[in-house]
Amino acid sequence: MAEEKVIDEAVQGNSLALENKKDNTRKLYIESYGCAMNFSDSEIVASILAKEGFNTTQVLEDADLVLVNTCSIREKAELTIRKRLEKFNAVKRTRPHLKVGVLGCMAERLKSQFLEEEKIVDMVVGPDAYKDLPNLIKEIDEGRNAINVILSKDETYGDVSPVRLNTNGISAYVSITRGCDNMCTFCVVPFTRGRERSREPQSILEEVNDLWNKGYKEITLLGQNVDSYLWYGGGLKKDFGEATEMQKATAVNFATLLEMTAIAQPEMRIRFSTSNPQDLTLDVVKTMAKYNNICNHIHLPVQSGSNRILKAMNRLHTREEYFTLIDNIRKIIPDCAISQDMIAGFPTETEEDHKDTLSLLEYVKYDFGYMYSYSERPGTMAARKLEDDVPEADKKRRLAEIIASQREHSGYRLQQRLGKIDEVLIEGESKRSTAHWRGRNSQNAVIVFPKEDSKMGQFVHVKVEDCTTGTLLGSIVKN
């Protein structure tokens, strides 16, 4: 999982008002950066602090406590955070009692160094230590710095009911696993989020049922590597070998959890992210095909098309095995959308390796993707063993070629929807016209169409009549 996005949370004031408590007197302002896991974690944090007298506000100048949920996936992500922290100095001048805390992967990576380097920061809390926030806040309230960056073997926050922050009241994240054991050599996540552990299925289903009862129509089951989900009574995935025969016999893997969720709420639309080619099983794909309410889209990062580079990245599959997986997915679900993550310019990457990446893109013709230049992350195997030797100019050119190829294939995939009638969940107004709704089809493609008498949160059938480079255009067809 690797995304760099910033979402302005101001627009979600209305849903938050519903969650805030009348008796709470302190104000929390929280900003989230990076991947969906961080946005989901911020909702956990808001819930934990709601019980400590904090209501969440979207107005920075009203805040008593500012929390920044940080990302460490690339150097640029960390620079963004440092720049943002500078902005809080001005607010602190008008509100001297304001406290500032950093959460997430950069907090875990830097630990106490963060307090030394960023004087505005009072508190540093790692992704597994959010339940310690009440104690840490007591410390900073008494004027001391506070820090907890201990990674956990069993924390999944399964017993915390999230306060929905970045939501339109229609779609929500439900986290199912934490951490990652895959140790891809370029990735900082295993160091900042710890070992893989899965959340108890019942608590996941309760959260899904609760969301349905609150009017939500779509959930995304979330994890750094959802395919590796395995519940066998708690504990780390890597210790499954020591489980009892009974635990092994009753273990719940991702395909089973997906089926349980589809059955529990047959009207609820289900998505999941992120998959990993070395862990995705065909059982998962067959379960997707079996239930209409599981969306036909798989985010399947590949990172490179070269076998030599895949090996150097410690990605445990070859390009040929990846092609076989893609072919099998399309055999089982012919119109399944597939998206990718790709890295340009990994250490030692040659023009030949780059050509392999372009030919893989040509073979798969992904629906969309997230593409970046290699950014060396301190502490990773690649940083320790490999020199970041691909010249910036080559990285830039190769990335541009990858993006151009993806843009062409995204257009090709959108064209394939022309004339089709897609089921669409209405998520909001089109950015360009208040007379039009926007929503997504099962393939996660955005579609815009005239509102007629339909409403937000409704499922409608839309005939796809045209498309731009990134959006489908259509009109509602009556049943």
| CA separation, residue 303 to residues 92, 152, 155, 314, 326 (Å) | 42, 28, 29, 11, 15
Nearer to ligand SF4, 182 or 359 (CB): 182
Nearer to ligand SF4, 15 or 307 (CB): 307
Task: Provide, rounded to whole angstroms, the least separation between the CB of residue 184 and ligand SF4.
Answer: 3
Task: Provide, rounded to whole angstroms, the least separation between the CB of residue 477 and ligand SF4.
Answer: 40
Nearer to ligand SF4, 24 or 307 (CB): 307
| Residue 239 DSSP label | G
Nearer to ligand SF4, 136 or 326 (CB): 326
Q: How far apart, in whole angstroms, are the C-alpha atoms of residue 360 and residue 364?
A: 6
Q: How far apart, in whole angstroms, are the C-alpha atoms of residue 126 and residue 105?
A: 7
Positions touching ligand SF4 (CB under 6 A) are 1, 180, 182-184, 187, 189-190, 224-225, 276
Task: Provide, rounded to whole angstroms, the least separation between the CB of residue 199 and ligand SF4.
Answer: 17
Task: Provide, rounded to whole angstroms, the least separation between the CB of residue 276 and ligand SF4.
Answer: 5
Nearer to ligand SF4, 226 or 294 (CB): 226
Task: Provide, rounded to whole angstroms, the least separation between the CB of residue 10 and ligand SF4.
Answer: 30
Nearest to 65 by CA among 106, 108, 26: 26
Task: Provide, rounded to whole angstroms, the least separation between the CB of residue 342 and ligand SF4.
Answer: 12
Q: Kindly state the greatest CA–CA separation across the chain.
A: 64
Q: How far apart, in whole angstroms, are the C-alpha atoms of residue 128 and residue 143?
A: 24
| Cβ atoms 341, 275 nearer than 8 A | no
Nearer to ligand SF4, 156 or 276 (CB): 276
Task: Provide, rounded to whole angstroms, the least separation between the CB of residue 255 and ligand SF4.
Answer: 19
Nearer to ligand SF4, 193 or 269 (CB): 193
| Cβ atoms 419, 462 nearer than 8 A | no
Residue at token pair 């929905």: 164
Task: Provide, rounded to whole angstroms, the least separation between the CB of residue 233 and ligand SF4.
Answer: 24
Task: Provide, rounded to whole angstroms, the least separation between the CB of residue 2 and ligand SF4.
Answer: 6
Task: Provide, rounded to whole angstroms, the least separation between the CB of residue 186 and ligand SF4.
Answer: 7
| Cβ atoms 377, 429 nearer than 8 A | no
| Cβ atoms 440, 170 nearer than 8 A | no
Task: Provide, rounded to whole angstroms, the least separation between the CB of residue 432 and ligand SF4.
Answer: 35
* Secondary structure (3-state) at 99: strand
Nearer to ligand SF4, 366 or 372 (CB): 372
Burial of residue 307, with CB atoms counted within 10 A of its CB: 0-12 exposed, 13-18 middle, 19 or more buried: middle
Find the angle CA(19)-CA(20)-CA(22) to the nearest 5 degrees: 135
| Cβ atoms 237, 181 nearer than 8 A | yes
| Cβ atoms 270, 211 nearer than 8 A | no
Nearer to ligand SF4, 55 or 70 (CB): 70
Nearer to ligand SF4, 304 or 430 (CB): 304
Structure-block tokens of residue 85? 């922290």
| CA separation, residue 227 to residues 166, 298, 325 (Å) | 25, 11, 14
End-to-end CA distance of the chain: 38
Nearer to ligand SF4, 250 or 281 (CB): 281
39, amino acid identity: F
Q: How far apart, in whole angstroms, are the C-alpha atoms of residue 250 and residue 462?
A: 42
Structure-block tokens of residue 382? 């690649």
